[in-house]
Structure 1
Amino acid sequence: MKKYVLYGTLCLAACGPRKQPAQQPATQPQQTISRPENFGADVAFLEEHTETIVLTDSTSKSAIALAPAWQGRVMTSTAEGDKGKSLGWINHSLIAEKKLQPHINAFGGEDRFWLGPEGSQNSFYFAPGDTFDLAHWQVPAALDSEPFNVTARSKSAVTFERNMQLPNYKGHIFDIKVTRTVTLIARRDLRNYLGTDLHRSVHAVGFHSANTIVNAGQHKWDTAYGMPSIWILGMFPAAEKNTVMIPLRTGGTVKDDYFGKVPAERLKTNKNIVYFRADANHRSKIGLRRQACYNVLGSYDAANKVLTVVQFTMPSASHRYVNSSWGIQAKPFAGDVINAYNDGPAGDSGAQMGRFYELESSSPAAALKPGGRLEHYHRTIHLQGSEKHLDPVVKKLFGVSLKEVENAFR
């Protein structure tokens, strides 16, 4: 279907069915620090606490802020300069506290590098023999709180590298070299990726990360030893009228029971589109396998008129994808390529990490011999403007009108 083609030079062309207990993520105290109102304030805050690299576009007011200390993640972006809306979610309280937390340090960020799988017998997040529960879940420090090294930098791009050794649940040690280049896309080039012109009144910012892993060890990565995948997650501010939309292939299904089944009033599946609430009022997560989706997903914040588009490389041929559901999996390589997460209160305490939601993409499982490499691109574009001028983009990429998105849960 033409409307779902990934436009531009980056174009390269679910989880197992076994029932598992509801997955429980870590919780941290909800934010107590007020969110800065604009990008400039967020950058100033970040610079108080960590090295911050800002890339700007000379042809527009777009910019992005990156943090080498936190795996070179894109912390936030703007389409309107320093006084414009800060478009990434940042955990101001956690950063200001300057104290590492158990399980995970959710600093935030629109594009952060992780490795899958999270669950299954090939997990990097549980030690051998541990039970698959919150008490034993631990994000590896190399993916959570330790820095990546800056190896190259230009006006529009920064390259990061990191060598890491990670054990999986089977006890096998993975020597992995990670290279990650983040590039700010000039506004004039966004048409190549959106497939349609932007009205001059639309404010826009776009960036992509090119992520590569190399098998730097002596063991072949295969189904018996275990195979990692590149997993890119973006955290964005939630809003009451914010809706995630994911184009659906004919006959495609959605996994909706990661943290308990998603209530019907929060997830709607039509013939060719999936709608998912992203308001940070109910903790929930969905996933789609490769055969159910295309290489695009996004969201629309109707109150702030912010359209977010995420595109990624997805090979046309069938590949294995890791299964990240917690527990031993009957099909550990029948997992998701797309995930969307909505944070919300959890447990008796009602604590939550913050007012955010996530848009995520994964590469195929890396079946690599020593010295072999796997690459995965992930692109994020934010557009701010009138409904009249955003509607053609939504129709082109998602096959629905902006009005249909706004009315999805009415």
Structure 2
Amino acid sequence: MKSFLLSGCLAAGLAACNGGGTTHEQQPMKPVNFGEDVAFLQQHLKNVVVLKHAGDSSGLVVTGDYQARVMTSTTGGNAGKSFGWINYDLVDSQKFAPHINAFGGEERFWLGPEGGQYALFFPPGKTFDFVNWQTPGLIDTAHYAVTAQSDTAITYQQQGTLQNYKGSSFTLQISRTIRLLGNSEVTAQLGFDLPAGIKSIAYETDNAVTNSGDSTWQEQNGLLSIWLLGMFKPSDQTAIVAPFQHIPNAKQHITDDYFGKISAQNLLIQDSLLLFRADGKSRGKLGLSPLVARRGAGSIDLQNNTLTVLFYEVVPQGRYVNSKWEQQKEPFKGDAVNCYNDGPLADGTQMGPFYEVESSSDARALNPGETLRYRQVTMHFEGDTKALQALAAQLWQLPLKEVEQFLAKK
């Protein structure tokens, strides 16, 4: 039996290769601003909501049509840079694709695990092969209903039942709130004041999964995790930045060969920080175990003078689901954080280009009525080189010259 390890948009890339999504020959990216993205989404979808603070140029757009997905955001109003990657071809088609609908978006809600004996993406008894792989409709095609809304926040809910590979059923309710953060909340999250001249957009998603059935979820039958995946626009001068715990043998808890070993020119692992090229031109994925993963993975784009950082919870001794497409020896020793750089497939086609930063909750045995909650904060910043240098130093103790030198590698 052939086994794979896929994750989020990585699965989407394989889906595209096998007819499960729209592909094309790689073309130079066309600059699209936030207003153009919003207009496109409003043209094709029924439930598009823009969240904004009054008198502020920052904002984001979310849709219940795509499972309460944050599609994109900006610091600069309609004419501003749009951070999220959107699959224009698939959205425009107005059709569902087989296996997965990779609509894009800078934060989407999923559930894990993908593969293994507790897989949510394979029916019981089938081999772990692409032909049998299917994203559950609850996190792929379902429309989520709005239950509360204001100018700066919106809450969606959906409920359903999932069956995993073992045959266990999970009756659950999903609740997801997206909320813009104010300046004081940004400062509180960061732990320091923003450098002068920085523009920002920041939002929190509060994600909850409740066991709405009448029996307790048990480890021997499989558990669920909340999985948040973000697809962002790359450039030739973009690097993913991921901090990790500086412990002995830390590199043993970082996996960098999911799609073949990532080359030294595309990956630099230091004592407590790694840099991963995010140019959308070379397909690769890495993962960090909860034993070393830290909050604060993100990216720096030196071409567009932007910095992105994500804050999430890591439970070092928690149970993190494993998504390998195989019968697993350790189904609860998966990654807490994943990073992906898109690139052409073997036949030259490519869905993107984009890059991705993902985080997952731990998995818990919930009693009836009990809830697993997982929050993530996404922040985008724009500013001049001096301001970004100050921000990168505060966040990661990272000189921009190190990023420049890394990206200059050939």
1:30 pairs with 2:29: no
Q: 1:135 to 1:369 in 2, by over 3 A?
A: same
CA offset at residue 372 of structure 1? 1.2
1:166-177 matches, within 5 Å, as 166-177=162-173
1:177-192 matches, within 5 Å, as 177-192=173-188
Whether the 8 Å contact between 1:35 and 1:92 is mirrored in structure 2 is: no
Structure 2 gaps, min length 5: none
CA RMSD of aligned residues (A): 1.8
Deviates more, 1:73-82 or 1:20-29: 20-29
Q: 1:371 to 1:277 in 2, by over 3 A?
A: same
1:197 pairs with 2:197: no
Q: Which residue in the other structure is 1:8 paired with?
A: none
Whether the 8 Å contact between 2:4 and 2:324 is mirrored in structure 1 is: no
Whether the 8 Å contact between 1:89 and 1:236 is mirrored in structure 2 is: yes
Task: Select 1:107's aligned residue among 103, 108, 124.
Answer: 103
Which whole-Å CA distance do the structure 2 matches of 1:263 and 1:117 have between them? 28
Q: Secondary structure at the match of 2:255?
A: coil
Whether the 8 Å contact between 1:59 and 1:187 is mirrored in structure 2 is: no
Q: Which residue in the other structure is 1:340 paired with?
A: 339
Whether the 8 Å contact between 1:210 and 1:375 is mirrored in structure 2 is: yes
The aligned length equals 390
Which whole-Å CA distance do the structure 2 matches of 1:108 and 1:395 have between them? 31
Task: Select 1:372's aligned residue among 367, 370, 373.
Answer: 370
Q: Secondary structure at the match of 2:310?
A: strand
Which whole-Å CA distance do the structure 2 matches of 1:20 and 1:49 have between them? 37
1:41 pairs with 2:41: no
Q: What's the TM-score once normalised by structure 2's chain length?
A: 0.91
Whether the 8 Å contact between 2:200 and 2:379 is mirrored in structure 1 is: yes
1:46-195 matches, within 5 Å, as 46-50=41-45, 51-195=47-191
Which whole-Å CA distance do the structure 2 matches of 1:235 and 1:376 have between them? 19
Structure 1 gaps, min length 5: 1-18
Which amino acid is 2:104 matched to? G
Whether the 8 Å contact between 1:187 and 1:205 is mirrored in structure 2 is: no
Q: Which residue in the other structure is 2:210 paired with?
A: 214
Whether the 8 Å contact between 1:60 and 1:187 is mirrored in structure 2 is: no
Which amino acid is 1:72 matched to? A
Which whole-Å CA distance do the structure 1 matches of 2:320 and 2:154 have between them? 28
Q: Secondary structure at the match of 1:383?
A: strand
CA offset at residue 21 of structure 1? 4.7
Q: Secondary structure at the match of 2:92?
A: helix
CA offset at residue 22 of structure 1? 6.0
CA offset at residue 144 of structure 1? 1.1
Whether the 8 Å contact between 1:62 and 1:81 is mirrored in structure 2 is: yes
Which whole-Å CA distance do the structure 1 matches of 2:196 and 2:54 have between them? 16
Q: Secondary structure at the match of 2:122?
A: coil
Q: Which residue in the other structure is 1:15 paired with?
A: none
Q: Which residue in the other structure is 2:238 paired with?
A: 242
Q: Deviations over 1:64-112 (max 9, x none)?
A: 0001110111100010111101111111111011111111111111111
Q: Secondary structure at the match of 2:220?
A: coil
CA offset at residue 313 of structure 1? 2.0
Q: What's the TM-score once normalised by structure 1's chain length?
A: 0.91
CA offset at residue 361 of structure 1? 0.7
Which whole-Å CA distance do the structure 1 matches of 2:343 and 2:36 have between them? 26
Which whole-Å CA distance do the structure 1 matches of 2:31 and 2:162 have between them? 36
Whether the 8 Å contact between 1:238 and 1:280 is mirrored in structure 2 is: yes
Q: 1:22 to 1:178 in 2, by over 3 A?
A: closer
Q: Which residue in the other structure is 2:356 paired with?
A: 358
Whether the 8 Å contact between 1:248 and 1:273 is mirrored in structure 2 is: yes
Which whole-Å CA distance do the structure 1 matches of 2:255 and 2:239 have between them? 18
Q: Which residue in the other structure is 1:382 paired with?
A: 380
Q: Deviations over 1:318-340 (max 9, x none)?
A: 21111112211100001111011
Which whole-Å CA distance do the structure 2 matches of 1:62 and 1:383 have between them? 10
Which whole-Å CA distance do the structure 1 matches of 2:305 and 2:41 have between them? 26
Whether the 8 Å contact between 1:31 and 1:92 is mirrored in structure 2 is: no
Which amino acid is 1:257 matched to? D
1:285-296 matches, within 5 Å, as 285-296=285-296
Which whole-Å CA distance do the structure 1 matches of 2:355 and 2:331 have between them? 26
Which whole-Å CA distance do the structure 1 matches of 2:171 and 2:304 have between them? 44
Whether the 8 Å contact between 1:195 and 1:396 is mirrored in structure 2 is: no
Which whole-Å CA distance do the structure 2 matches of 1:218 and 1:102 have between them? 33
CA offset at residue 217 of structure 1? 1.4
